Structure 1
Amino acid sequence: MESATKTVTIAAAKQFVSRCITAAGALPAHSDQMAETLIMADHRGHYSHGMNRLEMYVNDLKQSIADGHIKPAILKESAATAHVDGRNGLGPVVGKFCMDLAIKKAKESGVGWVVAKGSNHYGIAGYYALQASSQGLVGFSFTNSSRIVRVNRSSFYGLGTNPIACAAPGVDGDTFVLDMATSAVSFGKAEVNARKGIPIPDGWGADKEGKVTNDPQAVLDGGGMLPLGGSEETSGYKGYGLAMMVEVLCGILGGSNYSMNIRKWGTTGETADLGQCFIAVNPAMFGDGFEDRMQDLMDSHRNLAPADPEKPVLVAGDPARIHMKKCEELGGIPYPARVIEYMNGVGKSLEVPPM
């Protein structure tokens, strides 16, 4: 049974995260970017990648595994492309730098394609895709990550959850936002369930021997996630293939670590050196009426008769909008009380006041 919840205002949540990251050793501007990224995740309902990730970033900074002071550097550049060295900076700082650059190039050349090496965990991939869509562009974002997903036909965990994000603007701020892991779910969802003390559903994860389990702690204690689709018999090879595609766009193209070369999840003995890819596309360079046609695409699906009258048809991004509306009604973001207690413990170790 889930614990009680506590509602925290967005401003208070951001302030808490920023203070913790600054106390761990980052510049205030970098801490603010981290807070913006993490709390957007929680606001949109992606709790696995919001404040749940705070301790990981704090540990990387305190142990000097990530640098909270550097500015990314452009290594190579053309009118439409750039290769960036994140210089081991905080992932959200590297990510925003790269997508800002991709947006600039897309506005000038129609397409901006930026790939980074030397980065770190950057939060939800959708944050960067939304950067582009908020300016009338179509945005894509991808990242590789620590190996925590079982490879089909093996008990070995050889790939990351390697997310894919795409955001495309419709009319009046309505946006298609696909933000998904190439694993069945993100690893963070197992962490959240473990903190809540509830089991995980069938098909999410496996134990250290590769056996499917409902115990989130077994996933955390040497196990990992299943690829999107689960086993080979239920199309897990598709998630496996998509994860490899992300490695092509990020690790291989970026010249960073990839797959089994990336440090093991939860370890801080070496730098992550993640590869990330950011793409912005100007729809004005293609067919006319993009936003109206995009709106029609979304609405035509939303208006389909639901199989269950209690569950209307949604498109990607709608669950986040529903959650954001709930937050507005509550006056803040609802967090499980156990999560707030845990995060305040992280803050206490940094002499940061509780939420």
Structure 2
Amino acid sequence: MTVDTYNRDKLETGHVQQEASEKKQFTPPEGLGTKVSVRLSVLPYLYVTELRHGVTDGRVTPSIVCESASSALVDGNNGFGSVVGNFCMDLAIEKARKTGIACVCAKACGGSQAKGSKYPTRKMNYPRKSGFSTELQYSPAPALNSERLSQGFSFTNAFPGVLGTRAKQAAFGTNPIAVAAPGKNDDNFELDMATSVVASGKVELAHLKNESIPLGWLMDENGKLTSDPSGITGDAILMPLGGTEEHSGYKGTGLGMMVEVLCGILSGADYAHKIRDWKIFDRPANLSHCFIAINPALYAPGFEDRMSDLIDSCRSMEPADPSKPVLVPGDPERSHSKAVRDEGAITYHPNQAKQCWQTAKLLNVAPMTPV
């Protein structure tokens, strides 16, 4: 899908041209072989529906409610989480330049919360020279030059859909966490993970492709583990990171709750059971985010050298299976990104393309063109 088509898409559903341009700039290129496909599958039934029901507003800009030298509370004004995320990370970066560390929280964010968790990998580490994103060409972030900040944390809460350990119902959302820190030569630590056993988008994608999922990802409405991904569109619930209690699922539940403390509780937004169902659009999502920026220049020198040493040490460990080398967070996404750039295109399943063509028809915009 071209940039022009993307802008017309958002204009038809309430976005202004400037906002559409910003949102496509915010979409990070990491994970082109997997996460791009996952997020594209969410576009028709969540992002577009949020806009069409008026519970996410594409015309607004975030505003600062209160702030100090190293903190701020931001009102997202029910705008896209990706737009709010960029605003908050920029604000945290500027504050941390002077204070060493800064924390910015945001409330009243729209239903497209997922991309908000990706900002440390794009904003904190290094300028991108080129790349791709879900629907369009990626615009590189401004360089932060030699004084750039280089360590960032991002958290976001989400629509409830992850089982609480020992419970029979969803306690939290997938509540993703992202942490980024640079090594030398743009070889960076880039952790991006859900606090559920798997991101909901992977189950949605398997459903769209008519594929089964590993047993242990999803619990059906009868409280039984299932390999059928179709339940993700109904009453099935994702397992927490770790799975069952015997396999330390309580740790995933604890991490999900930690994200709620940093996001919903700290910002005053909805949290856990107070967040509306993702299938009901009777009110704004009121999701929330937390962004923490650290300026290592105000700490011990040699941060990137030590980071690279840690990364190299992990990668150089002898693998249990010689055909599967030891990886560090960010390696799979870098591999996928390279494959997409080498091929010059992103491969989608025919059912994904069909879904997007139907959405394009609904919005009266040009569909993606196969290559």
TM range (shorter): over 0.9
Determine the structure 1 residue equivalent to 2:246: 233
Cα deviation for residue 250 of structure 1 reads 0.2
Relative to structure 1, the CA distance from residue 102 to residue 162 in structure 2 (aligned partners, 3 Å threshold; closer, same or farther) is: same
C-alpha contact (below 8 Å) 2:81/2:116 kept by paired residues? no
Distance 2:190 2:117 in 1: 7
Alignment of 1:184-199 (within 5 A): 184-199=197-212
C-alpha contact (below 8 Å) 1:38/1:51 kept by paired residues? no
2:19 pairs with 27, 30, 55, which one?
30
**Residue identity opposite 2:284 in structure 1:** T
Identity of aligned residues (%): 44
Cα deviation for residue 126 of structure 1 reads 4.6
Deviates more, 1:87-96 or 1:246-255: 87-96
Determine the structure 1 residue equivalent to 2:267: 254
1:100 pairs with 82, 90, 96, which one?
90
Distance 1:265 1:194 in 2: 17
SS state of the match for residue 285, structure 2?
coil
Cα deviation for residue 53 of structure 1 reads 2.2
Alignment of 1:16-95 (within 5 A): 16-38=5-27, 40=29, 43=32, 45-47=34-36, 49-55=38-44, 56-95=46-85
Distance 2:313 2:151 in 1: 20
C-alpha contact (below 8 Å) 2:114/2:156 kept by paired residues? no
**Residue identity opposite 1:92 in structure 2:** S
SS state of the match for residue 167, structure 1?
strand
The alignment's TM-score, normalised by the length of structure 2, stands at: 0.89
Distance 1:352 1:41 in 2: 27
C-alpha contact (below 8 Å) 1:136/1:169 kept by paired residues? no
C-alpha contact (below 8 Å) 1:45/1:324 kept by paired residues? no
Deviates more, 1:30-39 or 1:336-345: 30-39
Cα deviation for residue 38 of structure 1 reads 4.8
Q: CA RMSD in A?
A: 1.6
The alignment's TM-score, normalised by the length of structure 1, stands at: 0.93
Alignment of 1:121-132 (within 5 A): 121-130=112-121, 131-132=123-124
Alignment of 1:115-126 (within 5 A): 115-120=105-110, 121-126=112-117
Distance 1:13 1:310 in 2: 38
Distance 1:100 1:353 in 2: 33
Deviates more, 1:305-314 or 1:33-42: 33-42
Determine the structure 1 residue equivalent to 2:365: 352
SS state of the match for residue 72, structure 2?
strand
Aligned residues between the structures: 344
Distance 1:97 1:38 in 2: 14
Distance 1:48 1:238 in 2: 28
Distance 2:75 2:362 in 1: 32
Deviates more, 1:70-79 or 1:314-323: 70-79
Structure 2 residue runs without a partner (length 5+): 127-147
SS state of the match for residue 364, structure 2?
coil
Q: Over residues 256-281 of structure 1, what are the superposed CA-to-partner deviations in whole Å (9 max), with x where a residue is unaligned?
A: 00000001122211111011101110
Distance 2:104 2:344 in 1: 37
Deviates more, 1:142-151 or 1:32-41: 32-41
C-alpha contact (below 8 Å) 2:31/2:336 kept by paired residues? no
Relative to structure 1, the CA distance from residue 143 to residue 245 in structure 2 (aligned partners, 3 Å threshold; closer, same or farther) is: same
Structure 1 residue runs without a partner (length 5+): 1-11
Q: Over residues 51-95 of structure 1, what are the superposed CA-to-partner deviations in whole Å (9 max), with x where a residue is unaligned?
A: 222121111111111111111110111111101111111111111
